[in-house]
Amino acid sequence: MAVALLVAGGHVFGQGFQLGIKGGGNLSTFMSGQKSNYNEYSMEAGWNAGIFSNFWLGNHFAIAPELLYTTAGATIKGTNSQANNNVYINNKLHLAYFSIPVMAKVRFTGGFFLETGPEISFNVSHSTWEDQSVKSLTNSSDFGWGLGAGYQSPIGLGIDLRYNLGLTKVDNVDQSQWSDVNLRNSEFQLDLFWTIFNNKKLAEH
């Protein structure tokens, strides 16, 4: 009896588990709820790539964790007062993260799906901002929430559009040009993906 249950459980897991690769482009910027010397944040183009998995509970609902390398940041424009002179800032702040989104996915007949869920990201930035390292000016991790939609074809190829909103602040310093900025990440991602392991033709159900 126990052996039969294990075999049946393994069969269900094998049918419901998928593994794939994904990658695409980002458009990112910063949001700030407080006034600062930096008063304009323009979007920056970037990229992301990684792996994903689907744990299907039936044909229409899945838990989908991912592991992605993704870029973020913005062009920061504004003024800063130094020695009674206004210094005009127009510089790009580049961030990089290893991100782990865990999405709840609802799939409809035909292959279209909606998804939402939390994301934890770990700061691995290696660029500089003016004369300092970005990693020293920013927090080591970031927590956010994603919301998206997409399509997966019967052969496992698909497309996914997602918006990620940072819920914790990016900056971690208290200097005249950063004080009380309270920056949060805001990012759109457009990805292509391919299910490379155990591609069930769920779109046909």
Specify which of 87-96, 123-132, 144-153 reaches the highest per-range mean pLDDT. 144-153
Looking at residue 182, its pLDDT comes to: 83
% of the chain with per-residue pLDDT over 90? 57
Higher pLDDT, 157 or 7: 157
Architecture of domain 18-204: Beta Barrel (2.40)
Domain borders along the chain are 18-204
Looking at residue 6, its pLDDT comes to: 34
Looking at residue 37, its pLDDT comes to: 60
pLDDT of 82 over the 60 cut:
no
Six-digit token string for 93? 């702040």
pLDDT of 74 over the 80 cut:
yes
- What is the residue-averaged pLDDT of the chain? 84
In DSSP notation, the chain reads -HHHHHHHHHHHHHHHEEEEEEEEEEEEEEEESS--SEEEEE-EEEEEEEEEEEEESSSSEEEEEEEEEEEEEEEEEEEEEETTEEEEEEEEEEEEEEEEEEEEEEE-TTSEEEEEEEEEEEE----EETTEEHHHHB-SEEEEEEEEEEEE-TTSEEEEEEEEEE-S-SB----TTTTT--EEEEEEEEEEEEEEE----GGG-
pLDDT per position as a tens digit, 9-49: 444 445 589 999 999 999 999 988 665 666 688 899 999 99
